[in-house]
Amino acid sequence: MSENIAQKKINPATQQFLNIAEIREDVVVLRNGAMRGILMVSSINFALKSEEEQNAIVSSYVGFLNSIDFPIQIVIQSREMNIDHYLADLRIKEKEQMNELLKIQTAEYIQYISELVSMSRIMNKYFFIVVPYDFAEDHQKSFFSRMSELFQPVEMIRMKTEKFLEKKKGLIERMEKVLGGLQSMGLNATMLDTQGLIELYYNTYNPGMAATQKMAPIDKLRVD
């Protein structure tokens, strides 16, 4: 029993080490009250572009960086390809197949794809841009007002609705500016909603568990 108690003390919850106070209305709120919005961005095959197209992309990227007056974080994640949904659809089609030969070929194809992905460990790359909005950047507030927010305990950071919406508006304006710059380079991007944000952090900090235990929709989650 004493070993179990000691183990619990040695292995604290991951949440204690995260700088996240809450994820609310498609926004990540940090412990000091700062906000983060995250964009999921598509990719382009730069090597297959012509020289003129490459120069245009680089020029657009330089213009994009010069157009923003706030820092951004570019995050690239590599995850092992998950084709469970694809295989599930194939198994349904296998059962529905009336032609016996096609039924056998579908079963062999399912086995081939499963073994290929398992042996080759095919990876997918995901691209994200983190857009910040910090309390220190709110120039309308006095220095002492901003400092008082900095030293508030976590329990006091649960923002009132009016204050939260005010800061969220500033964050959304920045995210829309970043979206415009990405589109000028031929990239597609979308803002992660609350469900997407929670899944992103869940997959990031629990990669092993995320591969076998999928997270339920937030409206079905129960917190005791």
Q: Please tell me the pTM assigned to this model.
A: 0.67
- Given this model, what pLDDT does residue 3 score? 47
> Of 69, 92, 121, which one is at a domain's C-terminal end?
121
Gap between the Cα atoms of 36 and 26, Å rounded: 9
Residues 41 and 97 in one domain: no
In a domain, 26, yes or no: yes
What pLDDT does residue 132 have?
Answer: 94
- Residues 32, 91: one domain? no
Confidence grade of residue 152 (pLDDT, cut at 50, 70, 90): low
| pLDDT value for 148 | 56
Q: Is residue 64 located within the same domain as residue 161?
A: yes
pLDDT digits (tens, 9 = 90+) for 203-221: 888 776 655 566 555 455 4
* pLDDT over threshold 50, residue 41: yes
- Do residue 138 and residue 73 come from a single domain? yes
Interhelix angle 100-120/84-96, nearest 10 degrees: 170
Please report the pLDDT score of residue 9 as a whole number.
Answer: 47
> For the chain, how many structural domains are there in total?
2
CB 75 within 8 A of CB 36: no
C-beta atoms surrounding 168 within 10 Å: 19
Q: Check whether 7 has a pLDDT greater than 50.
A: no
Please report the pLDDT score of residue 153 as a whole number.
47
Range of the domain at 103: 82-121
Residue 13: its pLDDT value, please?
Answer: 60
85-141: pLDDT as tens digits: 888 899 998 888 888 898 899 999 989 988 887 777 777 888 999 999 986 555 555
- Rounded CA gap, 43 and 24, in Å? 28
Judge if 100 and 175 occupy the same domain: no
What does the pLDDT look like over 158-193, one tens digit per residue?
557 778 888 899 999 999 999 999 988 889 999 999
Handedness of CA 215, 219, 221, 223 (dihedral sign): positive
Predicted local confidence at residue 53, as pLDDT: 92
* 158 and 134, same domain (yes or no): yes
Main-chain dihedrals φ then ψ at residue 8, nearest 5 degrees: -65, -35
Which amino acid, residue 155? E
Degrees (nearest 5) of the Cα angle 148, 153, 155?
A: 125
The single-letter code of the amino acid at 107 is A
